[in-house]
Amino acid sequence: MGWMPESVSTIGPKVDQLFWAIVWITGFFFFLVQGVLLFFVLKYRARPGHKASYVHGNTVLEVVWTVIPAIILLGLTIASQKVWAQVRFPKQMPATSVELKLTAEQFAWNVLYPGPDGQYDTPDDISTINQLHMPVGTPVKLIVSSKDVIHSFFVPEFRMKQDAVPGLNITIWLEAVKAGEFEIRCAELCGLGHYRMKGFVTTEPMADFEKWLVETKATE
């Protein structure tokens, strides 16, 4: 369904699958429960000549409608945790040579590439503000942090939202499947300028990405 922005990361279809599974399951039970409620409200409404009866409850029924939702919720939890772990647990991260540090601050996204030596805080580092470039078809490791308050890195097209927390270096990875330009929104109210805390992600073929790195370094 076309409710959501296009999905352009390898994790996207898995997140969408979970989203729709949850929508359908909770939607089904919502209408079922509300329908039954409406039915009983009408069927047992006050009418002249009908006396109210006192019902104590039904233990078997109550156990059934507690255990079934518990099993469904547990299933959804396990399914969600798998996808969560895939992009966040270090053991599940694919090996990659492309990585960057994404440091949020009031009210911008600082992007730092380690440069050819693969080390940060060396003269060949490449830094930009609000411009994050990454190659298509290659996993990219992002080390997300913050200089001041809690921000949140959110790129809807990647189906990725990660808090940027001062004092923590949180590692996630993403792999784009399509070239394009997408917005980074800060998804955590972080101060008066929160509304204008916007960056851009450009996903492009590896050759263009490498060219961009060289050009950006040259204009630094």
Enumerate binding residues for Cu ion (CB under 5 A). 151, 186, 190, 197
- Provide the minimum distance between the beta carbon of 131 and Cu ion in the complex, in angstroms, as a whole number: 17
Comparing CB distances to Cu ion, the nearer of 136 and 165 is 165
State how far Cα 113 lies from the chain centre.
23
Comparing CB distances to Cu ion, the nearer of 160 and 197 is 197
- Provide the minimum distance between the beta carbon of 89 and Cu ion in the complex, in angstroms, as a whole number: 25
CA distance 86 to 13: 13
Which tokens sit at 89? 């647990």
- Provide the minimum distance between the beta carbon of 135 and Cu ion in the complex, in angstroms, as a whole number: 26
* Nearest partner of 154 among 106, 114, 191, 104, judged by Cα: 104
User: Angle 59-88/12-43 helices, nearest 10 degrees?
Assistant: 160
Longest dimension (CA), the chain: 90
Comparing CB distances to Cu ion, the nearer of 11 and 104 is 104
- Provide the minimum distance between the beta carbon of 144 and Cu ion in the complex, in angstroms, as a whole number: 12
* Nearest partner of 91 among 173, 162, 27, judged by Cα: 173
CA distance 33 to 173: 40
Comparing CB distances to Cu ion, the nearer of 103 and 128 is 103
Comparing CB distances to Cu ion, the nearer of 132 and 186 is 186
Which tokens sit at 185? 């929104």
- Provide the minimum distance between the beta carbon of 112 and Cu ion in the complex, in angstroms, as a whole number: 17
